[in-house]
Copies of this chain bind each other. A is one copy, B any other.
Amino acid sequence: MSDRGTGQTPISGESLLFLTDDQLRRGIEAMFFAYRGFTADPDRILQDYAYGRAHHRAVHFIKRSPGTTVNNLLDILGVTKQSLNRVLRALIEDGLVESRVGKQDRRERHLFLTETGQELEKELSEAQRGRMRAAYRDAGPDAVAGFRQVLEQIMDPEMRRHFQAFKEGS
Contacts and interface: CB of A to CB of B under 8 A. Distances in A.
A51 interface: no
Q: 7 shortest A-B CB distances, which residue pairs?
A: A146-B146, A143-B146, A135-B153, A147-B150, A34-B151, A30-B151, A143-B149
A150 to B, nearest CB: 4
Q: What number of copies of this chain does the assembly contain?
A: 2
A14 B142 CA distance: 9
Interface string A121-154: 0000100110111111111111111111111111
A40 B137 CA distance: 30
Given A19-B133, A28-B132, A40 B9 contact: no
A86 B35 CA distance: 23
B30 A148 contact: yes
Interface of A: 1-2, 4, 8-9, 11-14, 17, 19-38, 40, 57, 60, 64, 78, 125, 128-129, 131-156, 159-160, 162-163, 166, 168-169
A133 B40 CA distance: 28
Given A11-B145, A146-B144, A163-B30, A78 B36 contact: yes
